[in-house]
Structure 1
């Protein structure tokens, strides 16, 4: 285990990436933290194929509510990238949420809109630390190069119910648990495996990673060890622990 200097180091990112964030436990916080860091390296677009927190006021916004791209999308994004190295693209902003674009638009943003990096929030968790994907989730673009499952460490040993997790019935169905049972590390690993199985629509070269978030007691927290042990048989390109409460710190666990 080692402390990573930044997200780029933690996830072994290349100079061009299309990153999809899924799961729970602070995806939107990670979305903007990752976007701001990557924008220091090159033009970066933050988007969502579901919903995400509204972009901060200093981030250039492009609204595109059509299902397919055309030249005017390229022009809008090019203009925004001239004003800011970090651009948000969504179908609109309503109720303090950035609204979804289609996977086809997310692909276009990565392929033809001049960005080195695209960061996509690809499913929602209603601010819960853990979730299981619905049948239609995650909503992944085919050009995704890295899928990161975000887990809030506070989900471990919580009851599988509406108060503590998103889609508790799906978690129960996929893990053989009952509603109200404890969310064990083994059950967390089963859901991570389910996410990995849903990567069929992305390129076979895409990598799969896990971020254990809210590790405010550091990587020595016994809960990090428990989740890490449960994930030992899951093929991951990286396993990262992070705290983003005050200052952001990240540790490469595996």
Structure 2
């Protein structure tokens, strides 16, 4: 597929077209502030590109939109290929009526499913945040498949330059310990750098081979970061930073790629 046919944000994922042709590309989403919306935006983008998609989770998540069929099963890696209809299916272990969410599979089960190459892309929600725009992972979090090719860390941009505390950060004591912020301190570039670089921070448990993408959701203005994002991109081992609002159009307004500056595509 020509890169001219690929939306600008997904160029961060599709530089190596052989990845999608030779294996199932596993994309794990962690963090807070829009993971589920991001997952299904990505699903629709890949479908438009002619890719086959499986969406799932290693935790719990809300059901997908009506136009994506849902498959409930115990062991997806043991099902026949015909159980995964084109172009997309959402696959889960079961339904939890108490919280209105579906349950997913363990990271090893995700890896086993990916090895069967039943789809081009396997999108995995690998974290939970209870509706907060930002979070720090607990000891058992996130639940990332070790075969992940990409880890996308989502953050609610409305938290930037705002006082922080238990009211807007999930697992605030852990976040405070990692960033050094005290309650009502503002979230600034320095604190973000500490959180991104910390082994128990934003990309905790991301496999070494995985490309790291930071999505700042509900924030379409790069000026809000006072020019600090290129520094974070260069100093924090990130492969790309996306800014936008995945429920709006265009969903992504700015893309920063390592050593390539800022890319803006108003046609998204």
> TM class by shorter-chain length?
0.7 to 0.9
1:200-239 superposed Cα distances (whole Å, 9 cap, x missing partner): xx3x3221121111124x43x3237344444541111212
Larger displacement relative to structure 2 (43-52 or 182-191): 182-191
Alpha-carbon distance change, 147 to 8 in structure 1, aligned in 2, over 3 angstroms: same
2:248 aligned with 1:239? no
Corresponding residue for residue 79 of structure 1: 82
TM-score, normalised via structure 1 length = 0.84
In the alignment, the residues of structure 1 paired with residue 157 and residue 177 of structure 2 have an alpha-carbon distance, to the nearest angstrom, of: 22
Superposed, which structure 2 residues align to 1:165-176 within 5 Å?
165-176=169-180
Q: Which consecutive aligned stretches of 4+ in structure 1 deviate over 3 angstroms post-superposition?
A: 10-14, 224-232
2:94 aligned with 1:89? no
Alpha-carbon distance change, 99 to 225 in structure 1, aligned in 2, over 3 angstroms: farther
Q: Which has the higher contact order (CA 8 A, sep 6+)?
A: 1
In the alignment, the residues of structure 1 paired with residue 126 and residue 225 of structure 2 have an alpha-carbon distance, to the nearest angstrom, of: 26
In the alignment, the residues of structure 1 paired with residue 192 and residue 39 of structure 2 have an alpha-carbon distance, to the nearest angstrom, of: 22
CA root-mean-square deviation: 2.3
Corresponding residue for residue 109 of structure 2: 105
Corresponding residue for residue 210 of structure 1: 214
2:25 aligned with 1:23? no
TM-score, normalised via structure 2 length = 0.80
Return the match for 1:60 from 44, 66, 69.
69
Q: How many residues align?
A: 239
CA contact under 8 A between 1:109 and 1:115: conserved in structure 2? no
Return the match for 2:41 from 33, 48, 67.
33
